[in-house]
Amino acid sequence: MNSKQIEETAVHIVGLYFSNAHTISPYISSNDKEPCWDGNLYIYSNEPMKNSTLYGRVPVQIKGRFFKDKVCKNDITYSVSLVDLKNYMRDGGIIYFVVGIWENSYKIYYAKLTPLKLKTYIKHCKRESASIKLTELKEYSFDIDCEIRDFYDNCKVQTGNTDNTVDIKDILSSKKAVNLTFFASALINNEQCKISEYLAKHTVYLYAETTDGFNNKVLRPVGNEDLSINLKESITAEVKVGDIVYYNEIQRTCKPNGNILIYIGRSLRMEISPDGNVNSNINFKLNETELSSWIKEAEFIFKIAETKCFEIDNVCFRLNGNEENKYIDWCRNRLRFAKKIQSVLSALHVNKELIIKEFSQDEINTINILYKTLCEQDEISINESLPPIFTVSLSNLYLALFASKTPTGKYRIYSYKDVTGDISYTDSNTNVPAKTSIYSWFQTDGFKIVSNIDYDDILPSYKKVYIENHNVTQRANNDMLMMILAYDENHDDKLLKSSKDLCEWLISINEKDEVNTYFLNLMQIIKRERDLTNEERKEIMIKFDLCNSMEKLACCLLLDNNEMANHYFNQLNDSEKEFFTTLPIYHFFNSKLECIWK
């Protein structure tokens, strides 16, 4: 065959293919002399195909290629000139067909060259042409009509918009909700086709819904290419072994071959084929996860390994083979140890989840010691001397503990709250030890990291000491500032609430010498919770003239007046400036660089 015959054959084959289409009509000229294009595929919204149902048209280019080898390939590449690629991009996209012709057969290959796809080819083109990838056009079905219509819709959005893409990482890291959309006409009025099943078999271009300066909705392409999206659905379902319900939800996703994957917890996966065959797989590891979740998972897997079956909404699934047996002893031992940890944390009233992991030998020894003394109420022998109050680390947790030496020379360990004797500090004015709350021991670092703080005990602890030592209010205020500093690093709302409760109590005592200080501290706590109201701002302005220089500086920061704040800051001497930068109110300088020392 000569080149003219090959081209005419190619055009004929493509035209013949689309003669079967329901909503696609080819208008392609044989031996066409039009530069770059060979014609169009006209798209109709439905049958019959007439002007009133015309949806749009897609330009096409058709090439023929004769292959001497006998192997029919599923994918081929074809060289297209850079000039043509740029013309296609300016025009808004094209479907590029190459008909592979063998002696006794042929195949149609195609590439959907959207503006974004063309941009990529042009960007990486190092010579006067680029090699584009084409895939085999499968036997005709109505899915082809939908695919071409989606190509048309994608090209309309992408034309003139290829430099206005948004990175998927920016969307995922953003705290704002972003609506994402894609074109999939196969899902329109098709209740039998689910989104998850469609996405398992098709790549799509994603678009982020934004607005322009006139508040009109604008679609921005997400990334520069079409994406494979694995959609995992959460489905309400009761999962149980015997009479015990372990989960009330499962996850479901689809594979390109039509199989359904069911995920139960983190460890059990089932693959169900369209003919109903079930292939189950247990993959249980000591993953870094929350202790309570891990125990629940381990109990579930342990029961399955014992009974070889489980139920999902009263449908029984039986596990075949002996693979699960290897988990029985492993689960039994690890589960026993995990519950020992849980008992220790419960005895210490830990308010944060421990992350389970492979523990070091030192950590294992610590757990065994704490279990023995806290849960079994037994004395322990320790080679080194323990301070009355100390902390130990366990995975991601820090535990505040109290050690009491017994007459036998051994130790009992309790929660820090069970400390016996007085907690004292030295008054800077009298150098006389004064009684204070146990929470004075924590300091900023303690409030920041300790995991078994009883937040409901903080205020009552200071109130109890106040009965004997009225001067504890100064220490309480100092401790409250440390709590705020810790909050600025760990953002624990319970800690901020406790500091607020403590501050409101200090105000209620109504110590005249400190009333402005306590009020401004309350305002800085509230400002961390929300914007100050007009009434609160007005009250700050009223108190402004009654304040000293450092308090006026605090007022300016609370009112977001950074210029005046810098003015009052520079009226302080160097030691006062140094001290002020250690206070939590310093957090409200809009930029630390704006706090200029003069």
Cα→Cα distances 522→387, 536, 539, 546, Å:
35, 11, 12, 17
Beta pairing partners, 111 = 96
Which tens digits make up the pLDDT trace of 391-445?
999 999 999 999 999 999 899 999 999 998 888 887 666 677 889 999 999 999 9
Return mean pLDDT, the chain: 89
DSSP reduced 3-state for 260: strand
- Give yes or no for a contact between 334 and 342, defined as CB atoms under 8 angstroms apart: no
HSE, side-chain direction, 13 A CA sphere, residue 355 = 8
Pairing type for strands 411-415 and 355-356 reads unpaired
Angle between helical axes of 361-370 and 326-347 (0-180°, round to 10)? 60
What pLDDT is attached to residue 598? 45
Q: Find the range with the poorest average confidence among 13-27, 168-182, 270-284, 386-400.
A: 270-284
What pLDDT is attached to residue 328? 72
Which tens digits make up the pLDDT trace of 48-85?
899 999 999 999 999 999 888 777 788 999 999 999 99
What pLDDT is attached to residue 516? 87
Residues 558-564, mean pLDDT to the nearest whole number: 92
Give percent of the chain above pLDDT 70.
Answer: 94
Pairwise CA distance, residues 177 & 252, whole Å: 24
What pLDDT is attached to residue 33? 65
Higher-scoring residue by pLDDT: 230, 249: 249
What pLDDT is attached to residue 596? 46
Residue 127 — very low, low, confident or very high, per pLDDT cuts 50/70/90?
confident
Cα→Cα distances 489→14, 447, 531, 584, Å:
65, 10, 20, 11
What pLDDT is attached to residue 590? 60
Does residue 594 carry a pLDDT above 90? no
- Give yes or no for a contact between 402 and 392, defined as CB atoms under 8 angstroms apart: no
Residues 462-482, mean pLDDT to the nearest whole number: 94
Residue 122 — very low, low, confident or very high, per pLDDT cuts 50/70/90?
very high
Give percent of the chain above pLDDT 90.
Answer: 64
Residue 321 — very low, low, confident or very high, per pLDDT cuts 50/70/90?
low
Residues 550-572, mean pLDDT to the nearest whole number: 92
What pLDDT is attached to residue 591? 46
Sign of the dihedral defined by the CA atoms of residues 393, 397, 402, 403, in that order: negative
**Whose CA is closest to 84, among 129, 115, 116?**
129
Distance of CA 138 to the CA centre of its chain: 38
Q: Find the range with the poorest average confidence among 107-116, 159-168, 317-326, 395-404.
A: 317-326
What pLDDT is attached to residue 597? 46
**Whose CA is closest to 449, among 500, 489, 480?**
489
What pLDDT is attached to residue 4? 86
Residue 478 — very low, low, confident or very high, per pLDDT cuts 50/70/90?
very high
Q: What are phi and psi of 100, to 5 degrees?
A: -85, 125
What pLDDT is attached to residue 71? 73
Residues 140-156, mean pLDDT to the nearest whole number: 96
Residue 385 — very low, low, confident or very high, per pLDDT cuts 50/70/90?
confident
What pLDDT is attached to residue 344? 95
Which tens digits make up the pLDDT trace of 164-221?
999 988 888 877 888 999 999 999 888 778 898 899 999 999 999 988 777 788 899 9
Residues 558-580, mean pLDDT to the nearest whole number: 92
Which tens digits make up the pLDDT trace of 342-381?
999 999 999 899 998 888 899 999 999 999 999 999 999 8
Pairwise CA distance, residues 351 & 116, whole Å: 50
Pairing type for strands 54-66 and 39-44 reads antiparallel
What pLDDT is attached to residue 359? 86
Q: pTM score, two decimals?
A: 0.68
Please name the amino acid found at residue 181. Answer: T
Residues 278-298, mean pLDDT to the nearest whole number: 77
What pLDDT is attached to residue 258? 85
Tell me which range, 71-85, 296-310, 408-422, 526-540, is most confidently predicted by mean pLDDT. 526-540
Q: Find the range with the poorest average confidence among 38-42, 118-122, 207-211.
A: 207-211
State the DSSP code for 135.
E
Which tens digits make up the pLDDT trace of 334-343?
888 999 999 9
